[in-house]
Amino acid sequence: MFNVYIQRQVNIKDDLLSGLTVALALVPEAVAFSFVAGVDPLVGLYAAFIVGLITAVGGGRPGMISGATGALAVVMIELVAKNGVEYLFAAVVLMGIIQITAGILRLGKYISLVPHPVMLGFVNGLAIVIFLSQLRHFKLSGEGNVLAWMQGETLYLMIGLVVATMVIIHFLPRLTRAVPAPLIAILVISAVVIGFNVDTLQVKDMASVAGGLPQFHIPMIPLNWHTLSVIWPYSLILAAIGLLESLMTLSLVDEITETRGQSNRECFGQGIANVVAGFFGTMGGCAMIGQSMINVNSGGRGRLSGISAAIFLLLCILFGSKYIEMIPLAALVGVMFMVVLSTFEWSCIRIVHKMPRADAFVLVLVSGVTVFTDLAIAVAAGVIVSALVFAWKSGKTIQLNLLVETPRLCVYGLSGPLFFGSVRKFLESFDPHKDPDNVVIDFRHSKVCDQSGLEAIKSLSDRYFNIGKRLHLKHLSDECRSFLKSMEVFVGVNVIKKPQFRMVQSHERLSLALPETEP
């Protein structure tokens, strides 16, 4: 009992400290994504607070962090530029409603259909995206507000502070795990920069993070069909990207923590969070893989970690903005670079030449598409390619073996699935002109999987009937028999069900029913 109490105290401490670390890392990310979407920084910060808090309480994955993300921000750019920020708030509300519907319909379970190579490509692609997103902090505004790469001492100082942050995060856990290494690294680098008055970029150089409590706000837009026609395409895309990124991150956290989250509950929780976020004038959000990795690697595994991260973020906005703004960006960049290193599946580089070529192609494809487009397109492309590869391989596994051949009849044994990918090989395996008057196909080791398979059977029966011969089907499943009956394929085909000889009359087509015991 005492050991359980001690463990609970340790978990609470880890959740609180990791939540504080995540809150510090959320500030520049939320501000940056706000700029990407073309909205005020507080719109992104409030989104991180509201979405992060609600999903931490009611979402399906303890320890996962949600907030404003770049994947959603890039979709919002066009909507804000063309119609204004009020339409964005309405789109976020509709996005939440779509996600709630997905949760009610229990669509989250279909994340299990995402193949492992797609998951690896998603992880590696997002690691690259996170890395590239941090490179903007190595640029300074020049003439005409044009960003240019740092040079000279400014660049060397930035790199030095980033490396120092990464070194602390890497080696500190070898000394102690009482406090999250990223938090100590941020505090140490901040103390050095402030104590020695080092001239380097700080959070305040991006934007001010000071503000009050988020205010309830009904989107100021006309409630008519034109408005709906404007926002629903964006809402649908945002909902799809948000759910995909959240469920993929959920699966990744499941794998790291060796626990299992609830995908349908996460869909519902994300939807509720975005509906509330839209009515409080924010840009909404979804799961954040970078911050989730910071949280998990810092020891945050419970719901308290996400709740504390959201509350600490709000406290930073209300009371600690002047201190948060003093944190050097180099420290936060160093934290995110360590996230990149821990997120990227380095083992893929070592084993990619040993993987099946199709899986290796899917992995590289999803990684590349994630970097150059967005997550939703990348995952969809990966799943489609994987499905086509599977269909192609499965289509080649179907085999037809001649079991019995007499002048009166022949019996074929079919093995493998009969579906759209194998119907061509199935049909080409028969020669009605050479076969005897009665042909039996034994489906004991095969299954008709789709409409294409049923149509293939019907087409084959017509070929035999047109030359005065009869096709018999044996060991068909009940489901296949009902399908065939609904298609009226029984006309010209005899489905053998009982072990006895009998004559079957069907629309003037006479068929000899063979016994189940006959080979």
Helices (H) and strands (E) in the chain, counts: 19, 11
The sign of the torsion formed by the CA atoms of 452, 453, 458, 459 equals positive
Domain that residue 424 falls in: 399-513
* Residue among 411, 55, 81, 4 at smallest CA distance from 247: 55
Whether 457 and 331 map to the same domain: the answer is: no
Asked if the structure places residue 292 within a domain, the reply is yes
Sequence-separated (6 or more) residues with CB below 8 Å from residue 95: 234, 235, 236, 238, 239, 242, 274, 278, 284
The sign of the torsion formed by the CA atoms of 122, 124, 127, 133 equals negative
Count the neighbouring beta carbons within 10 Å of the beta carbon of residue 260. Answer: 11
State the pLDDT at residue 370. Answer: 81
Whether 380 and 437 map to the same domain: the answer is: no
Q: Which of 332, 367, 387 is the last residue in one of the domains?
A: 387
What letter represents residue 451's amino acid?
Answer: Q
| Dist CA 141 CA 134 (whole Å) | 16
- pLDDT digit string, tens, across residues 125-141: 878 887 887 888 898 87
- Asked if residue 391 lies in contact with residue 439, where contact means CB atoms within 8 angstroms, the answer is no
Strands 438-448 and 502-506: unpaired
Whether 322 and 421 map to the same domain: the answer is: no
Which structure tokens are listed for 494?
A: 């005899």
| Dist CA 122 CA 375 (whole Å) | 7
Asked if the structure places residue 67 within a domain, the reply is yes
Asked if the structure places residue 394 within a domain, the reply is no
User: Which three-class secondary structure string do you get for 49-74?
Assistant: HHHHHHHHHHCCCCCCCEECCHHHHH
DSSP string across 201-254: -BGGGT----------B---S--SHHHHHHHHHHHHHHHHHHHHHHHHHHHHHH
| Dihedral angle over CA of 21, 27, 30, 33, nearest 10 | -110
Whether 266 and 405 map to the same domain: the answer is: no
Whose tokens are 């499943």? That residue is 477
Asked if the structure places residue 116 within a domain, the reply is yes
Which segments of 258-319 does DSSP mark as H helices, in order? 263-279, 289-297, 303-318
- Asked if residue 127 lies in contact with residue 366, where contact means CB atoms within 8 angstroms, the answer is no
Whose tokens are 């020891």? That residue is 299
Q: Where are the beta strands (DSSP E) in 285-425?
A: 286-287, 399-405, 409-418
In angstroms, how far is CA 89 from the centroid of its own chain? 24
| Dihedral angle over CA of 435, 439, 442, 443, nearest 10 | 90
Q: Which of 335, 361, 387 is the last residue in one of the domains?
A: 387
Whose tokens are 């400290």? That residue is 17
What contacts 24+ positions apart, CB below 8 Å, involve 455-458?
455/423, 456/418, 456/423, 456/426, 456/427, 457/418, 457/484, 457/489, 457/493, 458/487, 458/489, 458/493
Q: CB-hemisphere CA count at 13 Å for 70?
A: 21
- Asked if residue 363 lies in contact with residue 124, where contact means CB atoms within 8 angstroms, the answer is yes
Whether 37 and 80 map to the same domain: the answer is: yes
Whether 207 and 78 map to the same domain: the answer is: yes
- Asked if residue 290 lies in contact with residue 22, where contact means CB atoms within 8 angstroms, the answer is no
Whether 237 and 140 map to the same domain: the answer is: yes
Which segments of 135-224 does DSSP mark as H helices, in order? 152-175, 181-195
Whether 240 and 381 map to the same domain: the answer is: yes
Whose tokens are 């942050």? That residue is 165
Q: Give the residue ranges of the chain where pLDDT is below 70.
A: 1-10, 142-145, 375, 483-519
Asked if the structure places residue 334 within a domain, the reply is yes
| Dist CA 295 CA 15 (whole Å) | 8
Domain count, the chain: 2
State the pLDDT at residue 393. Answer: 85
Whose tokens are 């063979």? That residue is 514
Whether 431 and 288 map to the same domain: the answer is: no
Whether 379 and 485 map to the same domain: the answer is: no
- H/E stretch holding 355 reads none
Asked if the structure places residue 139 within a domain, the reply is yes
Strands 139-141 and 147-149: antiparallel
Q: Which of 352, 387, 422 is the last residue in one of the domains?
A: 387
Asked if the structure places residue 518 within a domain, the reply is no
Whether 168 and 47 map to the same domain: the answer is: yes
- Asked if residue 410 lies in contact with residue 382, where contact means CB atoms within 8 angstroms, the answer is no
DSSP class of residue 490 equals: T
State the pLDDT at residue 8. Answer: 54
Count the neighbouring beta carbons within 10 Å of the beta carbon of residue 321. Answer: 19
pTM of the complete model: 0.70
Asked if the structure places residue 1 within a domain, the reply is no
CA distances from 389 to 33, 130, 291, 376 (A): 37, 30, 34, 20
Whether 375 and 412 map to the same domain: the answer is: no
**CATH code of the domain containing 495:** 3.30.750.24
Burial of 509 (0-12, 13-18, 19+ CB in 10 A): middle
